[in-house]
Amino acid sequence: MKRVYVNEEWCLACHLCEYNCAFANSGHSDMVLALKGKKLYPRIHVEGDEKISYAVSCRHCLDPLCVKSCIAGALSRKEGIIEVDQNKCVGCLTCVLVCPYGALAPNEDGIMQKCELCLKNSAGEPACVAGCPNKAIVYEEREVI
């Protein structure tokens, strides 16, 4: 399965992935319309400083602790992709508490949202990857070692 992977040596901490993510999931067709004057709630975020930086988004684990821990049964793994059913989520943040990658954060209403690889929005494939200026994140198949 294709996933988003990080090549941290190439991350510039430009944070464009966050903006592209928020835009892709905004439902708007114009980035200005989607993001101007708004607080950003992206499903990917950049960590680190100017020396080391990297973008973190859901790893779509083979054995997802978040899914197992979700007290609302809102998280599930479908064809390898971890999805959240926002209708079921009550915002308890147990998933945030268990995700060892620090990949999850709620939306502005406190309900979980997460990277679903842009498969359901108009981007069609991860907008963060498409917009990364330096291939610091890539969307590809990799072998389990």
Partner 1 sequence: MGVEYIYPEFEVIRNENRCITCRVCERQCANEVHSYSPELGIMLADETKCVDCQRCVSLCPTHALKIAKSPCTYRENTNWQNDTIKEIYKQANSGGVLLSSMGNPKPFPVYWDKILINASQVTNPPIDPLREPMETRVFLGKKPEKIERDKKGNLVCKLPPQIELSMPVMFSAMSYGSISYNAHWSLARAATELGIAYNTGEGGLHEDFYAYGPNTIVQVASGRFGVHEDYLMAGAAIEIKMGQGAKPGIGGHLPGEKIVGDVSRTRMIPEGTDAISPAPHHDIYSIEDLRQLVYSLKEATEYKKPVIVKIAAVHNVALIASGIARSGADIIAIDGFRGGTGAAPTRIRDNVGIPIELALAAVDQRLRDEGIRNNVSIVAGGSIRSATDVIKAIALGADACYIATAALLALGCHLCRTCQSGKCNWGIATQRPDLTKRLNPDIGSARLVNLMTAWQHEIKEIIGGMGINSIEALKGNRLMLRGVGLTEKELEILGISHAGE
Partner 2 sequence: MKPYVIIGNGVAAAACIEGIRSIDVKTPITVISEENHPVYCRPLISYYLEGKTDPERMSYRAPDFYEKMKCTVLYGERAVSINKRSKTVVLESGEGIQYSSVCLACGSSPFVPRFEGLENVKEQYSFMTSDDAEALGQALHKDAKVLIVGAGLIGLKCAEGIHGRAGHITVCDLAERVLSSILDTECAGMMQTAMEDAGIEFMLGDSVARFEENKAHMNSGKTVDFDILVLAVGVRANTYLLKDLGGEVGRGIVVNEKMETSVPNIYVAGDCTEGEDITLGGRRVLAIFPNAYLQGHAAGVNMAGGEEICNKGIPMNSIGFFGMHAMTAGSYYGEEDGGECFEERTKNTLKRLFVRDGKLTGFILIGITERAGIYTSLIREQTPLDQVDFEMLKKIASSAAFSQESRRQKFSRPV
Q: Which does 92 bind (CB under 5 to 8 A by kind): partner 2, partner 1, none?
A: partner 2
Q: Which residue in 3, 4, 19, 128 binds partner 1 (CB under 8 A)?
A: 19
Using the rule CB under 8 A, is 66 a contact of partner 1? no
Q: Looking at 32-40, 60-68, 76-84, 117-125, which segment touches partner 1 (CB under 8 A)? A: 32-40
Q: Are 137 and 116 in contact (CB under 8 A)?
A: no
Nearest CA among 47, 18, 27, 28 for reference residue 115? 18
Rounded Cα distance, 69 and 71, in Å: 6
Q: Looking at 4-12, 72-80, 104-112, 115-123, which segment touches partner 1 (CB under 8 A)? A: 4-12
Residue carrying the six token digits 């943040």: 93
Residues that bind partner 2 (CB under 8 A): 1, 3, 5-8, 47-49, 52-54, 56, 59, 61-62, 65, 68-69, 71-73, 87-88, 90-102, 104-106, 142-145
Q: For residue 19, is it left (φ>0), alpha (ψ between -120 and 50) or beta?
A: alpha
Burial class (CB in 10 A: 0-12, 13-18, 19+), 22: buried
The residue type at 118 = C
Q: Which does 134 bind (CB under 5 to 8 A by kind): partner 2, partner 1, none?
A: partner 1
Nearest CA among 145, 144, 142, 124 for reference residue 2? 142
Using the rule CB under 8 A, is 14 a contact of partner 1? yes
Residues of this chain that interact with partner 1 (CB under 8 A) are 7, 9-16, 19-20, 23, 31-32, 35-37, 50-51, 131, 133-136
